[in-house]
Amino acid sequence: MLQPLPLSTPNRNLVRLTIVRGITWTGFLAAIIFGIEVLGFQLHVLPVISVIVAMGLFNVATWWRLGRPRAVTDTEYLLHWLVDIAGLSLLFYYTGGSTNPFITYLLVPLGIAAATLPWLYAWIIAMAATASYTTMMLVYQPVPQLTNSTIVFGVQLHTLGMWLNFILSGSLLTFFIFKMAHTLRRRDMTLSRTREAALRNEQILAVATQAAGTAHELGSPLSTMAVLLNEMRHEASEQPALIEDIDMLRKQVDTCKQRLQTLVANADRRRLEKPEIRRATPWLENLIQRWLVLRPDVQHRLEVLGKRGQPSIAVDATLEQALINLLNNAADASPDAIVTSLDWDAEEVVIDIRDHGPGVPMSIADQLGDTFISTKSKGMGIGLFLTHATVNRFGGGVSLYNHEEGGTLTEVKLPRIKAGESL
């Protein structure tokens, strides 16, 4: 049976408890000094100061323990709360017991323990706090100023103390619970991203496996086509025009075979190879030049918008193929007047690809790149999916927009590599 995940780890909770303890006992010390020096409280100073000093030393020891490699357990965390309740009980015993307006501070460990400890441990804290309060109703060292209606700043001293206790208790509870909830939200976001990444990797693996199998299966028909083309060339020895067409087909078949062989041979190597750091501008210029050789029908213009510095990015063969996929999508939508712009700031490099095609249908805009959905009538969306996955692997992202003047604007954001940095 699966166990529910805790809201936060005992280590983090103990860190927060140590902070809360330091604030609490510092506040109590200030209140006691104010009561003795200003209000003339008749207290047993030595035992009161001894309790505060002992809790201070215990807090220092806790900080030292948190620096040790051994993990904090729920049991250890429970013992810390019991020590706190014991210290509070001793302090309240010497400072008026249940007549002390700060006695309700015992609700603070009860509330925090209920949110951070297992059910049984939370009940132990509840019983300990209740026992302490009950004892303070019967046994304590009285403070006359707390039982008399002493007026301070026009308000009864007991009422003023309750007000201060409310502020202290509320502030500490808010701090602790906010930090705990923040940790919970951050953990949930991390888990969500991990699940998405795992699902995406599974899909990529499935696509890669299918692609490798397809590449292997296509090898035989391509070889057959090459043999048949050779035979057809011999038979058409007296037809120059036909021979020329057959030679062109043979080159295309050889190109397909070479691409498939390269795909199978380099799949693992490309997956495992470490990205290299390249200057963004010459890298993109070289990439576009090689792409235009394959797409001579395209009218393209490159604009470098950044004016300060020469940013560097991490690249490899898979990222180059991802950019080529996006360029091919733009060319397929509208081969005329494609504009690629390069810009950057201190944190990231932005590559925009603008075409003048029909744009992206709003019904599928949010799903592009997440599933096998394509903007093309006969497309499967695999290329765009793999492009998204590749750019995400580099810490970037791909966004598609319908340009206000028509067509599609594809925005690729990649993290900028600072000087001296490496992956």
**Residue 31 token pair:** 């209140």
- How far separated are the first and last CA of the chain, in Å rounded? 40
Calpha distance 218→257 (Å, rounded): 8
Calpha distance 390→344 (Å, rounded): 20
Given a contact cutoff of 8 angstroms between Cβ atoms, the answer to whether 260 and 270 are in contact is: no
Given a contact cutoff of 8 angstroms between Cβ atoms, the answer to whether 146 and 96 are in contact is: yes
At 93-116, the pLDDT tens digits run 998 888 888 888 888 888 888 888
Bridge-based pairing state of the strands 397-402 and 408-415: antiparallel
307 pLDDT tier (thresholds 50, 70, 90): confident
Instruction: Please list the helix, strand and coil fractions of the chain in percent, rounded to the nearest 5, in that order.
Output: 65, 10, 25
pLDDT of 2 over the 50 cut:
no
Q: Where are the domains of the chain?
A: 10-194, 196-272, 276-415
pLDDT of residue 1: 35
At 127-174, the pLDDT tens digits run 999 999 899 888 888 887 766 655 655 556 666 677 777 787 777 777
Calpha distance 204→210 (Å, rounded): 10
Q: What is the largest CA-CA distance in the chain?
A: 125
Q: How high is the mean pLDDT of the chain?
A: 78
Render 126-143 in DSSP notation, one character per residue: HHHHHHHHHHHHHS----
At 242-295, the pLDDT tens digits run 888 888 888 888 777 776 666 666 555 555 567 889 999 999 999 999 888 878
- Dihedral angle sign, alpha carbons of residues 389, 394, 400, 406: negative
Calpha distance 112→17 (Å, rounded): 9
Given a contact cutoff of 8 angstroms between Cβ atoms, the answer to whether 384 and 365 are in contact is: no
Answer CATH for 276-415 from 3.40.50.2300, 2.60.40.10, 3.40.1160.10, 3.30.565.10: 3.30.565.10
pLDDT of residue 352: 92
Given a contact cutoff of 8 angstroms between Cβ atoms, the answer to whether 342 and 281 are in contact is: yes
At 31-71, the pLDDT tens digits run 888 888 877 788 888 999 999 999 999 999 999 998 888 88
pLDDT of 90 over the 90 cut:
yes
What is the CB neighbour count within 10 angstroms for residue 108? 21
At 164-210, the pLDDT tens digits run 777 877 777 777 777 777 777 777 787 777 776 666 666 665 556 55
**Residue 369 token pair:** 């790149």
Out of 67-81, 83-97, 118-132, 358-372, least confident range: 358-372
pLDDT of residue 414: 92
**Residue 234 token pair:** 């011999």
**Residue 149 token pair:** 């209606």
- Dihedral angle sign, alpha carbons of residues 23, 24, 29, 31: positive
Phi-psi domain of 96 (left: phi exceeds 0; alpha: psi -120 through 50; beta: other): left
| 231-250 average pLDDT score | 80
Bridge-based pairing state of the strands 338-344 and 348-354: antiparallel
pLDDT of residue 379: 42
At 377-422, the pLDDT tens digits run 444 356 677 777 788 878 888 888 887 787 888 899 999 987 644 4
pLDDT of residue 114: 81
| 313-339 average pLDDT score | 86
Q: In what order do the strands lie in the sheet with 397-402?
A: 300-304, 338-344, 348-354, 408-415, 397-402
Calpha distance 101→92 (Å, rounded): 10
pTM of the model: 0.47
In sequence order, which residues have a C-beta less than 8 Å from that of residue 386 and are 6 or more positions away?
Answer: 204, 207, 322, 325
- Dihedral angle sign, alpha carbons of residues 100, 102, 107, 109: negative
